[in-house]
Amino acid sequence: MSSSPSRSLHLGLWAVQGLLAFAFLGAGAMKTFTPIEELATAMAWVGHAPAFLPRLIGVSELLGAVGLILPSALRIQPKLTALAAALLSVAMVLGVATHIAIGEPAMSAPAAVLGALSAFVAWGRGVAAPIAARG
């Protein structure tokens, strides 16, 4: 049996990376560019946070989305993809904790799913199926 990662694992990781990048681009753009008052009506946690926090989270999600794709696609520092995925996973754990803390545990499900998928990409690109940097 070969010790190299399977083609299906690589394809599965790329599919999850693409879906996560799409999700985080959308979520990040909304938190970055939507007026805070409007955002607070759509997301209860915004009312419990300092005004800068949704913007910081939004920009972080935008950068994380880029980090999920570009380093691996360009094969320039591809280990940054695993780092971006790991950091997004941590952010989603914090999101789950926030939703539970403010009394809306049902709203934590999307963050939990995104966090689990991000952890899968962090493991996959960091350990199981890393992409080699350009020589």
The answer, as to whether pTM is greater than 0.85, is yes
CA-CA distances (angstroms) from residue 24 to 2, 56, 58, 61, 85?
35, 13, 9, 5, 11
Q: Residues in the chain with pLDDT < 70?
A: 1-3
Q: If you ran DSSP here, which 8-state letter would residue 131 be given? A: P
CA-wise closest residue to 24 among 51, 64, 57: 64
The pLDDT of residue 4 is: 80
Distance CA 14, CA 103 (A): 35
E strand or H helix at 34: none
The pLDDT of residue 2 is: 56
Distance CA 31, CA 35 (A): 8
The pLDDT of residue 3 is: 66
E strand or H helix at 134: none
9: Cβ–Cβ under 8 A, 6 or more apart, which residues? Answer: 124, 128, 129
